[in-house]
Amino acid sequence: MTIAIAAAGTGGHVFPALAVAEALVLLGTDPDNIVFFGGDRIEATAVPEAGFELVTVEVRGLARTFTFDNFKVMAGVLKAARTLRREIGTRRVTAVLAMGGYVTGPAALAARMAHVPLFLHEQNARPGLANRWAARLARRVFVAFPAAATSIARAETVGNPLRASLLAAPPSRAAARARYGLDSDRPVVGILGGSQGADALNRSAGELVDAGYQVLHLAGRDQHERWTGLAADIDDWTVLPFEAEMRFFYAAVDLVVARAGALTVSELAATGTPSILVPYPGAASHQDANAAYLAETGGAVVLPQTELSRLGAEVAAAMEPAELTRRRAAALARGRPDAAGYIAAQLQEAANG
């Protein structure tokens, strides 16, 4: 029995896939019986570092508007599908999970050609093109947010798979704040700039420090040097490029200001962290719908990027003790910490069947 997981391109696809792989191991699957299908982006380092084998194929996504380059892409998809079909046969793969993104197309085709059950997971509230197409070939479709189930037939809402390290017993607030050199008795606002950094959010950090808050600022690998320099002489402003152990970050802060990426929203819910979400304003963004999942019950406030001038007032309103308590409970009520284990159990059952 071998289970294949197709995940590529961004952390939003790869890290939930790794969470499912970890859950499979906890359920008794040998890591040698788990293989990843992907490309040469974040998965090329993240998957081997987690202890799993990666089979790479060359493929890229289709353009959303008509272009003759899409014919070349489709030829690449078919070539990659044939490669993955051979890997499925050679490795005796008995179940395939695809996590969306550009590798989903060839993985879905390969599973169909090999007569192996295909499972899908969609991380966003608005399903991507690859998953909408592949859903017709899948035995089971899992989605993170209820809104996605309206776009994909037979979809089951299970949440986003999260890494076990995030869901472990949280550190105490005092221990988490000591990790970052923060005062344990004063309010802390966390800013998540994302792995590449979100300039609009990063620029708000100084304003919050001026308003009297401690700021724990994950500025992103591509932007942190600039902000580290600006914060060097300011005691209340702590800047990091990223945090490998996010459970410390969430335990340290009272409130988070962030984009509304699918994993961020799911992590905020699972940890019961109040937030102000500023969806990425790009036309193709899924983030407005993701943010609505937490905002519907009051766990988050959605603030359009064009209205960031109101951030200080929104933070002040959220920091009222009774309001923080209410928002924590509302966020936690939306958490689905069991998603990785549930998907892993369904995969394992199919693979053994």
Does residue 37 sit in the same domain as residue 150? yes
The rounded distance, in Å, linking the Cα atoms of 310 and 305 is 10
Does residue 130 sit in the same domain as residue 235? no
Does residue 193 sit in the same domain as residue 101? no
pLDDT (mean) for 136-140: 95
Does residue 318 sit in the same domain as residue 183? yes
The rounded distance, in Å, linking the Cα atoms of 156 and 151 is 12
Domain harbouring 278, CATH code: 3.40.50.2000
Does residue 141 sit in the same domain as residue 288? no
Residues in the chain: 353
Of 93-107, 191-205, 239-253, 316-330, the least confident: 191-205
Residue 324 belongs to what domain range?
A: 167-332
What are 8-38's pLDDT values in tens digits?
988 889 999 999 999 999 999 999 999 999 9
Q: Which has the closest alpha carbon to 293: 259, 327, 335?
A: 335
- Arithmetic mean of pLDDT over the chain: 91
Does residue 287 sit in the same domain as residue 144? no
- Name the domain count of the chain: 2
What are 211-246's pLDDT values in tens digits?
999 999 998 777 767 777 777 788 899 999 889 899
Question: In the sheet where 2-6 sits, what is the strand order?
Answer: 53-56, 34-38, 2-6, 93-98, 118-122, 140-143, 155-157
Does residue 71 sit in the same domain as residue 125? yes
Does residue 66 sit in the same domain as residue 155? yes
Does residue 190 sit in the same domain as residue 327? yes
Please measure the distance between the N-terminal and C-terminal CA atoms of the chain and give it in whole angstroms: 10
Does residue 155 sit in the same domain as residue 177? no
Does residue 24 sit in the same domain as residue 155? yes
Quick one: pLDDT at residue 20? Answer: 98
Does residue 181 sit in the same domain as residue 312? yes
**pLDDT band at residue 129, thresholds of 50, 70 and 90?**
confident
